Amino acid sequence: MIRRLRTTPTEPVADAEGRLSAPAALRNRDAILDVLLPRMPRRGDVLELASGTGEHIAALAAHRPDLDFHPSDPDPSRRTSIDAHCRGLPNVAPAGDIDVGEPGWAIEKAADMVLVVNLLHLISDAELSVLLDEASRALAPGGLLAIYGPFLRGGLLTSEGDRSFDASLRAQDPAVGYKDVDMLRTVLQVLELAVEVVEMPANNLMVLGRAKAVAGL
Ligand SMILES: C[S@@+](CC[C@H](N)C(=O)[O-])C[C@H]1O[C@@H](n2cnc3c(N)ncnc32)[C@H](O)[C@@H]1O
């Protein structure tokens, strides 16, 4: 389900082409690219969940014209923005309509990479469980699941900004809020992904889960 949560003081406004711009996406884009570009697959398909404005996938697709990118978002205004940001990039498919909490999306296409930026704190534990199960099924052998965002660490909120953001989310909907990186690491290991956690600016983390490669592929 899409929740109408207030996460920023003002809602982004679309330009004449329908392009939205998120200040957070512009702030974190280069740090995300720095971590992802050296770890991205040599070939194949990249599926992004909750692509939002489309600014991250447009930047990644411009850097890697040899990969095929598949953005998605359940919000139609976001899909319009994604398609507008990616116009002129022949390696980006039209944005798909995927709700991460609805089982079944993994069967549509095997992915060499699944990317999720700034979503986990906006969904419930049950939706996260579906997301992780589907993402692990969607990954091709050797594929990479990359999850960026703010997290609890050892069950704790570790900055004043995180405490107030998490509290504002839970006040709007008690089902959502920061997830624990240690829990996420354990679940990814149970799903047989090799886990790497990278510290990111502004107390965020990039959690990476690599599927086992199959010899000869
Ligand atoms: C904070 S924005 C992040 C967007 C983008 N990844 C970024 O970092 O700029 C959250 C996005 O998650 C999408 N979203 C909310 N609930 C979702 C769900 N259940 N499944 C998939 N996407 C969802 C919203 O439509 C929104 O575009």
Give the pLDDT confidence score for residue 8 in this predicted structure: 83
Q: Helices then strands (H, E): number in the chain?
A: 6, 6
167 lines ligand 1 (CB under 6 A): no
**123-170 pLDDT per residue, tens:** 999 999 999 999 999 999 999 999 999 999 999 999 999 999 999 999
Rounded (to 5) percent helix, strand, coil in the chain: 40, 25, 40
* Among candidate residues 152, 166, 131, the one with its CA nearest the CA of residue 48: 131
If you take atom 9 of ligand 1, which residue's CA is the nearest one? Answer: 25
101 lines ligand 1 (CB under 6 A): yes
Under the banding of pLDDT at 50, 70 and 90, the label for residue 214 is confident
Atom of ligand 1 nearest to the CA of 25: 9
Enter the pTM of the model: 0.96
If you take atom 4 of ligand 1, which residue's CA is the nearest one? Answer: 52
If you take atom 23 of ligand 1, which residue's CA is the nearest one? Answer: 50
CB neighbour burial string for 188-215, b if at least 16 within 10 angstroms, e if fewer: beebebebbbbebeeebbbbbbbbeeee
Q: Please say if the pLDDT value at position 95 is more than 80.
A: yes
22 lines ligand 1 (CB under 6 A): yes
The DSSP bridge partners found for residue 66 are none
2 lines ligand 1 (CB under 6 A): yes
Where is pLDDT greater, at 153 or 214?
153
CA of 215 to the centre of ligand 1 (A): 35
Q: Domains, the chain, ranges and CATH?
A: 23-209 (3.40.50.150)
Atom of ligand 1 nearest to the CA of 24: 9
Helical pair 125-138 and 181-190, crossing angle rounded to 10 deg: 40
User: Strand runs (DSSP E) across 56-203, as ranges?
Assistant: 68-70, 111-117, 139-150, 193-200
Per-residue pLDDT, averaged over 168-178, amounts to: 97
**What are φ and ψ of residue 45, in 5° steps?**
-120, 135
Q: Position 48: which residue type?
A: E
